[in-house]
């Protein structure tokens, strides 16, 4: 018996990185999983390897596609038990004052408004005892230079989590995780490099007491814990998955 037997789970950004690890983790614990991603081919590839996987093409910027995602889950399963809002946009490494308004707005639409859209359309179909878990960032609590708009958007995601938790309690728990830097596709999108140069990687790791960056399983395990009955009395929590990065 798995912790999530027959639970109906949506994972946005589920085709790669944290999302893929999370989708696979829930499935291994008995869940039915919708892998929602703008990359439909990738979503289908992941979903095809899950015992009860479903793929859905999701543009997180589109209110209509978020609504359609919820409707698809209702059509296939009759509702949703766990919503994981993982999809988002990484930092761009620009000084805030050098960004144009469109790029700044795009960051907020992807990292904040997307959570609003997903929750707005899924919550009406989530029974008592359901759970929402979003992926924020440790940068939302401990900002760093050149990441200001990204960190601000993730800080907003943390606050959105806490506010939504008060609105939906006691029926639906709402939490988020705050990962530290991880060698996923975010590196490529944020820096244009598939692998960080050794000196950059070493500098990042030097600031993490546990001596390494996060791996997708670290984040997936934290998400599944917050969604599980083991965390039944936890809501409004922003859980640092950062190897101690935020200490001090």
Residues classed as catalytic: 150
* Alpha carbons 32 and 56: distance in angstroms, whole number: 13
DSSP three-state, residue 240: strand
Segment holding 175, helix H or strand E:
strand 172-179
Widest CA span of the chain, in angstroms?
A: 53
What does R_g of the chain's alpha carbons equal in angstroms? 17
* Alpha carbons 234 and 242: distance in angstroms, whole number: 19
State residue 211 phi and psi, 5-degree precision: 80, 15
Q: Residue 37: beta bridge partners?
A: 57
* Alpha carbons 247 and 19: distance in angstroms, whole number: 26
Structure tokens at 88: 């988002």
Q: Other C-beta atoms within 10 Å of 146: how many?
A: 15
């Amino acid at each position: 018996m798995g912790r999530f037997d027959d639970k109906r789970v949506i994972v946005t950004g589920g085709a790669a990185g944290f999302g893929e690890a999370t989708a696979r983790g829930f499935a291994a614990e008995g869940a039915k999983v919708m892998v929602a991603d703008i990359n439909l081919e990738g979503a289908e590839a992941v979903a095809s390897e899950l015992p009860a996987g479903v793929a859905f093409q999701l543009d997180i910027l589109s209110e209509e596609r978020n609504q359609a995602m919820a409707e698809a889950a209702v059509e296939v399963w009759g509702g949703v038990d766990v919503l994981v809002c993982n999809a988002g946009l990484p930092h761009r490494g620009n000084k805030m004052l050098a960004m144009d308004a469109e790029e700044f707005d795009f960051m907020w639409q992807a990292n904040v408004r997307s959570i609003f859209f997903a929750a707005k359309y899924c919550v009406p179909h989530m029974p008592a005892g359901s759970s929402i878990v979003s992926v924020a960032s440790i940068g939302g609590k401990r900002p760093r230079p050149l990441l200001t708009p990204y960190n601000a958007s993730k800080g907003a995601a943390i606050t959105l989590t806490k506010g939504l938790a008060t609105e939906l309690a006691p029926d639906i728990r709402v939490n988020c995780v705050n990962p530290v830097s991880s060698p996923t596709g975010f590196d490529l999108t944020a820096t244009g490099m598939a692998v960080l140069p050794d000196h950059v990687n070493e500098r990042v790791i030097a600031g993490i007491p546990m001596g390494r960056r996060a791996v997708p399983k670290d984040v997936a395990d934290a998400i599944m814990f917050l969604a599980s009955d083991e965390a039944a009395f936890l809501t409004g929590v922003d859980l640092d998955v950062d190897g101690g990065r935020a200490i001090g």
